[in-house]
Amino acid sequence: MNWKEHIAAICAQASFSEPAGEQTLSAAETQLGMRLPEELRELLAESNGVRGEYELALIWPIERIVADNRLFREDESFKTLYMPFDGLLFFADAGNGDQFAFAVAGGQVRRPDIFVWNHEEDSRTWLAKDLCDYLEGWISGRIAI
């Protein structure tokens, strides 16, 4: 799939970044201790982050993916406030504190499903069958949180 073409076709306001290089993606995987889901890896290789309407980040740049996931997994204060975050790989946010993520099991993403983490309730709810479904649903408003 050509991610940039697909996203541009469903979001006229989409803006794209320069691609993330293989070395950048591999370094990120080392820092995260897991391989990125293939569809996310492919998208980042086309555009290191995607912004939609009102500059909302539809997909974070790889640097933010690494930084936010490490923060949520390692920050001691989060450990007393929330369930562990080792089971999530965050890649975007809703602009209200809630975040979108792949599920992690046994140190890797095994399924393409997308979940939303609610920052107020600390709930983790299934949202979409894959990254494409998330993008199409979130951009069109079919998915709302």
Determine the pLDDT at residue 48: 98
Task: Over range 107-124, report the average pLDDT.
Answer: 97
Q: Alpha-carbon distance 57 to 9, whole Å?
A: 17
Residues 93, 57: contact at Cβ < 8 Å?
yes
User: Can you give the pLDDT at residue 41?
Assistant: 98
Q: What is the mean pLDDT of residues 94-119?
A: 96
Mean pLDDT of 14-31: 98
Domains and CATH numbers, the chain: 3-140 (3.40.1580.10)
Q: Are strands 99-103 and 114-118 parallel, antiparallel or unpaired?
A: antiparallel
Percent of the chain with pLDDT over 90: 95
pLDDT tens column, 32-78: 999 999 999 999 999 999 999 988 999 999 999 999 999 999 999 99
